[in-house]
Structure 1
């Protein structure tokens, strides 16, 4: 009984993260077109089903159902499905490029009294398009095995979506950096040309002496093995979202066997948050661990300082083991406390894994939106600055010529 209860909890949590196959209701006026779209990555199976329902009870009872024209297109404008004079239909395809897939509906027959018609559209995307009944009959499985197969498919789908979002974020970041660089370069060029024109005019009219000096610089769960310098510090950072548990173990290791067998140099350690709040501080240690729960998203930094020197010729390294989120959980203690084992423990781990991926997915979507907004604001600000600098230089040059 307890196994089935755990399984039900996992299924409920998993289905929340799944791209649900939900019905969309459209109210379509006479001789008008309405479209809906869905952002889908490539190599995903899509099934769609639509049906026309008359919104007027009088004509519905008379068995009058208006006909529509249906067209489904890919992000590049390729026609995937086209139907004329339809009242019901289905379409299916496998995506070949990522982007917005568009389904447009247009009323063909005129309804008396200019009444509207309702269209029910149901999208089934990815794992939702799988026919689990047929799979169960073909594979001769049922019960827990079938639910585990569904969860496996769900995990793969969520993982692929996570990789897709990370790739989209990288592409957005690269595009933003290239755009910012191009606009900044154009701004610098326009400003430089205006300064050169003004300098030539000043030199020719002998009004002022040219003195221009311009110099601009563009400043420009995992084990980490750090090689410590003989002096100074060494820092590492990890980008973590907020409300995540972090556990870290560290140990100082000396290469080879030094002349003093029991000698290990000690270090100092400081851990700070993205807003420079001190989370952990230790002096004169050779090993240890620390843990905290993040309160803001960003780069969490751990810095190590050498307090004593190692014997000559001996390298000093620090082994650092980050355990973040689900990796920081003590599953043995949880199993003993909950008195579970084997398949129940595996299902509990899977539930936590699905929740962690879902939270990471939401975090990446939020980061993508923030990156897009920052890119738009930066581009607008740089473009405004470029236009203002060009206008000021033109006005200055005009005033000098007139003077």
Structure 2
């Protein structure tokens, strides 16, 4: 592997390790509104850990709910009226995007309330508890870091292979569509030519019957 590629991978792993959690406000509403959702993508059978922290407390005039669903329709977790820290771990069922959605309902009308939410999503090797693995297998810090980088590299390769297979499917679909459009165009041309020839022959016979020609 060339040096620039190795450097790029190292920078990529450093970036993965330095990502920060998302922090946003979810305003409370007395009427039903569209939930505020954060979307991410995971591969099949991948471990996902979502750490959620909400300001406020239960009974402060707001009811904050959240649920996690994927684009296929699988629901992984749903929790109503929560505050503080919540940790959700699940294994994805398919290659799909999943949404972490929040709904905040105001108990009393006329009050402007909101909850500050901090969301941290980790998937794959980043979601594993490496401290527990290090303690269980008695690994040195360098060994743990090398193992983590190895698993991140394997996940990166798997994702690239998935993107390659998806690109191949899209290319096959595109080629099949182009072939169908070409065949349809050829059939339409022959049909128009046959229709034109029939119209010319019909008009000629009509004029002859009327002794115009």
- Name the TM-score, length of structure 1 as normaliser: 0.43
Q: Please say if 1:15 is aligned against 2:17.
A: no
**Residues 265-280 of structure 1 mapped to structure 2, 5 A cutoff:** none
Q: 1:29 matched to which residue of 2?
A: 27
Separation in structure 2 between the aligned mates of residue 107 and residue 86 of structure 1, nearest angstrom: 10
C-alpha displacement at 1:20, in angstroms? 6.6
Unaligned runs of 5+ in 1: 1-8, 55-59, 208-403
C-alpha displacement at 1:50, in angstroms? 1.5
1:107 partner SS: strand
Q: Please say if 1:81 is aligned against 2:77.
A: yes
C-alpha displacement at 1:12, in angstroms? 5.0
2:38 partner SS: strand
C-alpha displacement at 1:185, in angstroms? 3.0
**Residues 183-198 of structure 1 mapped to structure 2, 5 A cutoff:** 183-198=181-196
| Pair 1:199–1:103, CA change in 2 (3 A) | farther
- 2:137 is aligned, of 136, 139, 156, to 139
- 2:91 is aligned, of 89, 94, 102, to 94
Q: Please say if 1:105 is aligned against 2:98.
A: no
Q: 1:128 matched to which residue of 2?
A: 126
| Pair 1:77–1:86, CA change in 2 (3 A) | same
Residue deviations 1:123-144 (CA, integer Å, cap 9, x gap): 1111110111000000101232
Q: Please say if 1:43 is aligned against 2:39.
A: no
1:206 partner SS: helix
C-alpha displacement at 1:48, in angstroms? 0.7
Q: 2:157 matched to which residue of 1?
A: 159
Residue deviations 1:336-360 (CA, integer Å, cap 9, x gap): xxxxxxxxxxxxxxxxxxxxxxxxx
Residue deviations 1:33-75 (CA, integer Å, cap 9, x gap): 1112112221211111222236xxxxx9xx9373322121122
Separation in structure 2 between the aligned mates of residue 65 and residue 15 of structure 1, nearest angstrom: 42
Unaligned runs of 5+ in 2: 1-6, 206-213
Q: 1:200 matched to which residue of 2?
A: 198
Separation in structure 1 between the aligned mates of residue 14 and residue 119 of structure 2, nearest angstrom: 21
**Residues 286-305 of structure 1 mapped to structure 2, 5 A cutoff:** none
- Name the TM-score, length of structure 2 as normaliser: 0.76
C-alpha displacement at 1:14, in angstroms? 4.9
2:163 partner SS: helix
Residue deviations 1:169-215 (CA, integer Å, cap 9, x gap): 212212222222233333333343333322221221129xxxxxxxx
Question: RMSD in angstroms over aligned alpha carbons?
Answer: 2.8
**Which has the bigger relative contact order, CA under 8 A and spacing at least 6?**
2
Q: 2:3 matched to which residue of 1?
A: none
| Pair 1:73–1:189, CA change in 2 (3 A) | farther
- Runs of 4 or more off by more than 6 Å in structure 1? none
Structure of larger gyration radius: 1
1:105 partner SS: strand
Separation in structure 2 between the aligned mates of residue 196 and residue 17 of structure 1, nearest angstrom: 65
Q: 2:60 matched to which residue of 1?
A: 64
